[in-house]
């Protein structure tokens, strides 16, 4: 685009009767004429969000008559951020996909800019075109690339939100839970507070329903759960704590609450199996390393299971790598040697501190015993 056309477009825009808006156009013109591309990028990034421009016609005119004239001169990722607003107002979403495809070629010298274009395409495929296969391909294509990026980029949070939304839609609870937590780890500071409660509720359900999700403490430690305090879903935090500590009595007491959620009620058997496994993990964790021989009777009592189902429970825990140990069928005991590490709550940390105190006392006693008998040992 020629400078004459740009000048003509800017001159026309400055004729607006809105004095504040006219002043904005004047600043843009000055930055453009002085070729202050960095300052212009920052200014345009704010300007595209101006209330007077929030329609397809105005934003496309801004792009074609102004931004396109210097798009190769500014930071590629900055260009993508600016055009994200323009793309969001395109009524033809297939045209928006094509627009982003062309944009990828223009910003190919910057990996982050290309990644962002792909994420934006994924959002359109998922939210507007309901094209799940195309969304899945983008998520899978970017997964390894972003994991190997070496550091967290501004794209990571947007990618994890895209992936979480996709997995929630297709009912993959475990993947949704993991991506949801990764999203919060990247973008919690910019995530709108009015959406916290909904996200917390969905993550809580995913933690309970997800296959292989036993590290519930990671979610319990996150401040987003506080958004459920004082809401109708506050009970979910209490249920998550019950699962984290393997408290089957609490789980059964809360059945009137959690069974009101159709997804949880439909998976009652699986929930019972999961909390039984967590109960076994908690029993192992609480015991000192030298006292981890647990009888089948103790497990049956704690997990509220018939004695004949205890061995099956232990075998499931061993098969999933939740614990390590050996079953002695004759003696009716299991000798535990290890339990999978988890994020601990305050009560569990206090229990660990007590265990450490016991170890220190044992070490001190042994040290004193050796000192008192040192001469006896040396002379013999």
**Is 294 in the same domain as 365?**
no
Asked whether the CA dihedral 229, 248, 222, 122 is positive or negative, the reply is negative
Q: Are 122 and 138 in contact (CB under 8 A)?
A: yes
**Is 256 in the same domain as 306?**
yes
Domain total of the chain: 2
DSSP lists the bridge partners of residue 293 as 335
**Is 221 in the same domain as 326?**
yes
Position 140 in a domain: no
**Is 358 in the same domain as 302?**
no
Give me the tens of pLDDT residue by residue for the chain, a chain 380 residues long.
Answer: 556 599 999 999 999 999 999 999 999 999 999 999 999 999 999 999 999 999 999 999 999 999 999 999 999 999 999 999 999 999 999 999 999 999 999 999 999 999 999 999 999 999 999 999 999 999 999 999 999 988 899 999 999 999 999 999 999 999 999 999 999 999 888 899 999 999 999 999 999 999 999 999 999 999 999 999 999 999 999 999 999 999 999 999 999 999 999 999 999 999 999 999 999 999 999 888 888 999 999 999 999 999 999 999 999 999 999 999 999 999 999 999 999 988 755 665 555 556 666 657 667 776 776 777 666 655 55
Alpha helices for 107-254 (secondary structure H): 111-127, 132-147, 154-170, 173-187, 196-209, 217-220, 235-244, 248-253
Asked whether the CA dihedral 191, 196, 198, 204 is positive or negative, the reply is positive
CATH number at residue 264: 1.10.10.10
Residue ranges with strand state E in the chain:
293-295, 323-328, 333-339
Domain residue limits at 276 = 214-228+239-342
Position 137 in a domain: no
Q: Which helix or strand (DSSP H or E) is residue 10 part of?
A: helix 3-13
Position 316 in a domain: yes
């Amino acid at each position: 685009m020629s400078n004459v056309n740009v000048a003509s477009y800017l001159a026309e825009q400055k004729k607006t009767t809105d004095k504040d808006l006219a002043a904005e156009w004047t600043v843009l013109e000055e930055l453009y004429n002085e070729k202050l591309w960095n300052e212009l990028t920052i200014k345009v990034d704010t300007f595209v969000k101006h209330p007077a421009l929030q329609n397809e016609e105005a934003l496309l005119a801004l792009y074609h008559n102004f931004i396109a004239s210097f798009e190769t001169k500014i930071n590629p990722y900055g260009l993508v951020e600016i055009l994200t607003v323009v793309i969001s107002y395109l009524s033809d979403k297939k045209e928006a996909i094509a627009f982003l495809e062309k944009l990828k070629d223009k910003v190919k010298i910057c990996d982050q800019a290309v990644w962002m274009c792909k994420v934006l395409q994924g959002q359109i495929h998922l939210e507007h075109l309901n094209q799940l296969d195309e969304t899945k391909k983008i998520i899978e294509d970017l997964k390894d690339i972003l994991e190997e990026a070496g550091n967290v980029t501004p794209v990571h949070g947007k990618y994890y939100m895209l992936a979480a939304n996709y997995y929630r839609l297709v009912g993959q609870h475990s993947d949704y839970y993991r991506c949801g937590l990764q999203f919060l780890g990247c973008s919690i500071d910019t995530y709108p507070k009015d959406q916290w409660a909904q996200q917390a509720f969905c993550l809580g359900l995913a933690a309970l329903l997800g296959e292989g999700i036993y590290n519930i403490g990671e979610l319990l430690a996150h401040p987003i759960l506080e958004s459920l305090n004082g809401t109708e879903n506050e009970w979910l935090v209490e249920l998550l704590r019950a699962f984290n500590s393997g408290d089957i009595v609490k789980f059964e007491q809360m059945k009137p609450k959690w069974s009101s959620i159709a997804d949880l009620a439909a998976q009652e058997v699986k929930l019972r199996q999961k909390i039984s496994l967590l109960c076994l993990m908690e029993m192992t964790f609480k015991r000192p390393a030298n006292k981890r021989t647990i009888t089948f009777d103790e497990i049956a009592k704690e997990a509220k299971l018939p004695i004949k189902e205890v061995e099956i429970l232990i075998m499931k825990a061993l098969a999933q790598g939740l614990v390590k140990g050996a079953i002695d069928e004759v003696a009716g005991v299991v000798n535990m040697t290890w339990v999978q590490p988890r994020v601990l709550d305050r009560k569990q940390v206090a229990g660990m501190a007590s265990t450490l105190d016991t170890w220190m006392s044992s070490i001190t006693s042994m040290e004193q015993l050796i000192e008192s008998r040192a001469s006896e040992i040396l002379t013999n």
